[in-house]
Amino acid sequence: MLTNNTTITSEILAKAKNLKLLILDVDGVLTDGRLFFDQEGNEYKCFHARDGHGIKLLRQSGVEVAVISGRKSKTVELRMKNLGIELVYQGHEHKLGAFNEIIEKLGINPEQAAHMGDDLLDLPIMSRVGLAIAVNDANFAVKERADWCTSTLGGLGAVREVCDLIMQAQGTFDSILNAYLK
């Protein structure tokens, strides 16, 4: 199965098999958490291409992806539009309202969702989903409460690691891989 250095238990695989939604934080998960501003106040973020491709593959396999961020950024809006993600909630420091709206909109149970986070703002959602995931460099309190931690740091391919895990657990990874091998 996965070739990273983290332990994948049968319990994690069972939880991942039932997922219909992956919810992502932005700063510290889709990015490395650093914030860059120029002298005019323009913000710059760095996203990893493998994370983006993993998101596209996961969505292609039938799992929806949403983003809930405490901050608001035009850069995030543009990147998510590029990835085809429509469920983008920015400026939600208290993320539960957005989470409840997404769950209701998709008509799924919280247990059918995973949340990937790195800091304390993510804990309210992580405590309600079927699979709580922390990036390798997450705050210690988040890692302690996560079902699983990635071997990769936030913003450096950790999202791709999760996408691959979900697709492998759901049996869709091999068909996607084989399409590239033809």
pLDDT in the model for residue 42 = 87
pLDDT in the model for residue 3 = 47
The average pLDDT across 36-59 equals 94
pTM: 0.94
pLDDT of 1 > 70? The answer is no
Express each pLDDT in 158-173 by its tens digit: 999 999 999 999 999 9
Burial of 142 per CB tally in 10 Å (0-12, 13-18, 19+): buried
Domains by residue range for the chain, with CATH: 10-171 (3.40.50.1000)
The residue type of 59 is R
What are the backbone dihedrals phi and psi of residue 7, each rounded to the nearest 5 degrees, phi first? -85, 125
Highest mean pLDDT, choosing among 3-7, 47-51, 173-177 = 47-51
